[in-house]
Amino acid sequence: MFDQWLNQDIGNVLARRNRVVVGAEASLLDLLGKVLPKEMTIFVVHSGLEELECKYTVEKFHKDEKVVIIATAPKTELTFIRDYAETYGYVDIRNVESYVVERVFQELGLNISLTPEELKVAAYNSLAKGREYWEELYRKGGERLFDIGSDILPFLHDPEGFCATRDAVVVAAFFEKINSWLGRGNISQPPETLAKEVAEQILGSLLTGKPKKRYLDVYKKWGDSKAMEGSLLGYCQEHPARLEQPELWKVYAAHPFASVFP
């Protein structure tokens, strides 16, 4: 819903005027690229010189058009576009955590209790989602930022691709949740390395006689997914020798291995 709220706030200004300044830290630019409609005329300014260039271009070539200007500097430090922010309209998301808390309360009447980092991740994860997402966060807190049982499958299937389509803040929080799901401290690793360790943990549990429910649940979803079965078989072929040799009668009956012995 973050995308809906931000576009609503921008739209409210542009309904009255043809300029709006959005205050946003540079780290939010990727998020804004996903949120703002592609047909919008958008400028991004980081410095006074860029502000001057922006104002000249806007006044000369977009005088009668609606324009969004994203400024990474605080409003008090703006120079050449300060008048736009003051007289046309200013939407401040530099502190995106506060923005999210305020909008959740305004729209849904909920007091969300999350850490600043969790709030930032929640903003990213809420894109194209409805009130149910925030209501679940309200009830269950940060543990519901990710549904590991479902989100882990696309990660296992294409670790690099999964991370490439998500902001670094979201990826870091997701990796932390995965490590916690594995029952260990947070370890910094490349996506491929972490994915292989997760796969080995899931597949190795099938040889123990009593696989943990969280691993078994993911395995069943993985095995039932036609779109992702290729990665499951790939992990089985790539790492069979790294699995502990089992006692045959303890092996989970519906295992995916061609052979359970190296």
Same domain, yes or no: 118 and 189: no
**Is the pLDDT reported for residue 50 higher than 50?**
yes
The verdict on residue 257 lying in a domain is no
Same domain, yes or no: 169 and 114: no
**Residue type (1 letter), 117:** E
Same domain, yes or no: 131 and 60: no
Report how many domains make up the chain.
3
What pLDDT is attached to residue 248? 52
Give per-residue pLDDT as tens, 174-203: 888 888 877 788 888 898 888 888 888 877
Judge whether 105 and 114 are in contact, CB under 8 Å: no
Give per-residue pLDDT as tens, 129-168: 888 888 878 877 666 677 776 778 888 888 888 888 777 8
Give percent of the chain above pLDDT 90. Answer: 26
Give per-residue pLDDT as tens, 205-241: 766 667 777 877 777 777 667 676 666 666 666 655 4
Same domain, yes or no: 111 and 180: no
- For residue 200, give its domain range: 148-250
Residue with tokens 């940060």: 142
Residue whose C-alpha is closest to residue 26's, from 50, 55, 58, 53:
50
Residues 6+ apart with CB under 8 A from 156: 195, 198, 199, 222, 228, 231, 235
Same domain, yes or no: 242 and 156: yes
Same domain, yes or no: 74 and 113: no
Same domain, yes or no: 230 and 168: yes
**Is the pLDDT reported for residue 12 higher than 60?**
yes
The verdict on residue 256 lying in a domain is no
Taking the C-alpha atoms of residue 195 and residue 84, their distance in angstroms, rounded to an integer, is 48
Same domain, yes or no: 153 and 240: yes
The verdict on residue 126 lying in a domain is yes
Same domain, yes or no: 140 and 163: no
Same domain, yes or no: 152 and 246: yes
Judge whether 261 and 245 are in contact, CB under 8 Å: yes
Same domain, yes or no: 138 and 181: no
What is the pLDDT averaged over residues 245-260?
51
Same domain, yes or no: 134 and 188: no
